A and B are shown apart, each in its own frame.
Chain A
């Protein structure tokens, strides 16, 4: 974990409530896709955990949803402004487990971290398939970016205004055979993917956090491998350890 100041280079809207922020700073502690950073926002007490969309050579890209006062303030920030960020948080995805034909499934604000993962898997020579689930056509983002990496992309929307109507699990059949499942999104979606997927997999969870680095026990969850902290031992859990509670 590292604390450093990042400078905003770009902060633009991707949809009506999804923003993309590109920053420059020290990205050396970001070692795996699926990790997150914790952003201190002026006037907010707790930092905001945000997944890493991409990190290369001192350039950090965050894609975030405007959900409350903290992210509203972030959305109003302009190039040149600085942010205090803790980097290198969370375990991230293990790309070694992918096999030749990994299937990546993201829902809503769970889509962004899959980008860095897809990029690494494509670079490794995998045949990558991605399913992106959204509520409606106006919520869709990053389809083209995944395609540009060379991944095969399916889009689903709940109301059918873009891609296939329904949920992400509805297009598993079309997606063909796959060797490993990577997923990130809201818990009901993760659960549906877990029940539909026939392979081993890695699932990234979200929880309200205090510190983001394993000190406060705010984001604990039960697993078959014992109690874990989503922020430090997660956010990625392997399929065989997951316990569904709620």
Chain B
């Protein structure tokens, strides 16, 4: 069996050479990284959260360091769906030739529906990842993902207008993530991805003020891995649709743990920002790491740790 086959997974009906997906917001539209390595080695990648209008995002500073992780309060800076379709995707297609995951965000049900249906018509899009979990914007994003009934209604509405597999990205900032996962499954989601960032903050001790201009930001990076793994495990045990696991993944071992917890594919976010070659390095390290744990092919370990 060739190396490619050992790593192969199928996510919502689409074959992937491997389960490695750079997470939305940490990989732009791919072309900064295409200068560094051939990004076609990736399973796919999730592009920057796209909204109807262009957004500058929050005031700076919008990044803060934490032990084993970082806070970001970027606030969905993106050029808007028109420019994404007209400018970013054609540029992306020059360097990436696989189906891409389109991360869609919004501030109203209408906006989610409109952006999703427009993105859905793009040939290069394989999956839509509906971000109902951004903690850094007000009056949208996470507000949809922290309440089961509003999550359900936005997923239902989007489901009606898109043909591509719909993966709903969940927030960890809830009392019971399983309840939200079940609600979006019932509303017609083809998959769920989790976790988005954990709401956090830091204080500038010299200025006696919050460090981020937005006061709060989303915590991600290696430190959140155990929390993310637990949530992936709980959700995968409760839904029938595929789960994409993320949160703090930085090594091939982390990928294997995520998959054993029940993830079909794995996204990698903040680690790309410290080591721009992180996803390439993880893909290269997977076969050897699998050998070490006696794993012949990755798809056979999905949910292996479930009771």
Most buried by B among A47, A217, A220: A217
Task: Give the docked Cα–Cα distance between A1 and B64 (Å).
Answer: 23
Smallest CB-CB separation from B222: which chain A residue?
A45
Smallest CB-CB separation from A218: which chain B residue?
B63
Q: B305 at the A/B interface (Cβ < 8 Å)?
A: no
Main secondary structure of the interface of B (DSSP, over half): loop
Q: B35 at the A/B interface (Cβ < 8 Å)?
A: yes
Q: A46 at the A/B interface (Cβ < 8 Å)?
A: yes
A208 touching B274, Cβ below 8 Å = no
Task: Give the docked Cα–Cα distance between A45 and B276 (Å).
Answer: 13
Which A residues, 203 to 246, have Cβ-Cβ distances below 8 Å to chain B? 207-211, 213-222, 227, 232, 245
Residues of B contacting A217 in the complex (Cβ-Cβ under 8 angstroms): 25, 28, 48, 57, 74, 77
B63 touching A209, Cβ below 8 Å = yes
Residue among B32, B36, B74, B275 making CB contact with A218, cutoff 8 Å: B74
Residues of A contacting B74 in the complex (Cβ-Cβ under 8 angstroms): 216-218, 220
Residues of B contacting A70 in the complex (Cβ-Cβ under 8 angstroms): 65
Which B residues, 30 to 77, have Cβ-Cβ distances below 8 Å to chain A? 32-33, 35-36, 48, 56-57, 59-70, 72, 74, 77
A215 touching B272, Cβ below 8 Å = yes
Task: Give the docked Cα–Cα distance between A214 and B222 (Å).
Answer: 21
**What's the least CB distance linking A79 to chain B, in Å?**
26
Residue among B26, B56, B272, B273 making CB contact with A220, cutoff 8 Å: B56
Residues of A contacting B32 in the complex (Cβ-Cβ under 8 angstroms): 213-215, 232
How many residues on the A side are at the interface (Cβ–Cβ under 8 A)? 27
Q: B96 at the A/B interface (Cβ < 8 Å)?
A: no
Smallest CB-CB separation from A222: which chain B residue?
B56
0 or 1 for each of B72-104: is its CB under 8 Å from A? (1 = yes): 101001000000000000000000000000000
Q: A3 at the A/B interface (Cβ < 8 Å)?
A: yes
Task: Give the docked Cα–Cα distance between A64 and B67 (Å).
Answer: 22
Residues of A contacting B221 in the complex (Cβ-Cβ under 8 angstroms): 45
Q: B27 at the A/B interface (Cβ < 8 Å)?
A: yes
Task: Give the docked Cα–Cα distance between A219 and B213 (Å).
Answer: 12
A208 touching B64, Cβ below 8 Å = yes
How many residues on the B side are at the interface (Cβ–Cβ under 8 A)? 35
Task: Give the docked Cα–Cα distance between A3 and B68 (Å).
Answer: 21
0 or 1 for each of B118-135: is its CB under 8 Å from A? (1 = yes): 000000000000000000
Smallest CB-CB separation from A212: which chain B residue?
B273
Residues of B contacting A214 in the complex (Cβ-Cβ under 8 angstroms): 28, 32
**What's the least CB distance linking B27 to chain A, in Å?**
6
Which A residues, 1 to 48, have Cβ-Cβ distances below 8 Å to chain B? 1, 3, 40, 44-47
Task: Give the docked Cα–Cα distance between A209 and B65 (Å).
Answer: 10
A207 touching B61, Cβ below 8 Å = yes
B273 touching A208, Cβ below 8 Å = no
B69 touching A45, Cβ below 8 Å = yes
Task: Give the docked Cα–Cα distance between A221 and B58 (Å).
Answer: 10
Residue among A1, A46, A209, A220 making CB contact with B276, cutoff 8 Å: A1
0 or 1 for each of B12-32: is its CB under 8 Å from A? (1 = yes): 000000000000011110001
Residues of B contacting A209 in the complex (Cβ-Cβ under 8 angstroms): 63
Given A211-B272, A213-B32, A214-B32, are A45 and B77 neighbors across the interface (CB < 8 Å)? Answer: no
B276 touching A44, Cβ below 8 Å = no
Residues of A contacting B77 in the complex (Cβ-Cβ under 8 angstroms): 217, 220, 227
Residues of B contacting A207 in the complex (Cβ-Cβ under 8 angstroms): 60-61
0 or 1 for each of A68-91: is its CB under 8 Å from B? (1 = yes): 001000000000000000100000
B63 touching A208, Cβ below 8 Å = yes
Smallest CB-CB separation from A230: which chain B residue?
B60
Residue among B25, B33, B67 making CB contact with A45, cutoff 8 Å: B67
Which A residues, 76 to 127, have Cβ-Cβ distances below 8 Å to chain B? 86
Residues of A contacting B64 in the complex (Cβ-Cβ under 8 angstroms): 208
Residues of B contacting A220 in the complex (Cβ-Cβ under 8 angstroms): 56-57, 60, 74, 77
Which B residues, 111 to 157, have Cβ-Cβ distances below 8 Å to chain A? none
Given A208-B63, A216-B26, A217-B25, are A46 and B56 neighbors across the interface (CB < 8 Å)? Answer: no
Residues of B contacting A218 in the complex (Cβ-Cβ under 8 angstroms): 60, 62-63, 72, 74
**What's the least CB distance linking A205 to chain B, in Å?**
10
**What's the least CB distance linking A187 to chain B, in Å?**
11
Residues of B contacting A221 in the complex (Cβ-Cβ under 8 angstroms): 60
**What's the least CB distance linking A235 to chain B, in Å?**
13
Task: Give the docked Cα–Cα distance between A40 and B65 (Å).
Answer: 13
Residues of B contacting A219 in the complex (Cβ-Cβ under 8 angstroms): 60, 63
B48 touching A40, Cβ below 8 Å = no
5 A-B contacts (beta carbon < 8 Å): A3-B277, A46-B70, A208-B60, A215-B33, A220-B60
Q: Which 9 A-B pairs have the closest CB atoms?
A: A218-B63, A211-B273, A208-B61, A210-B63, A217-B77, A46-B65, A214-B32, A208-B63, A217-B74
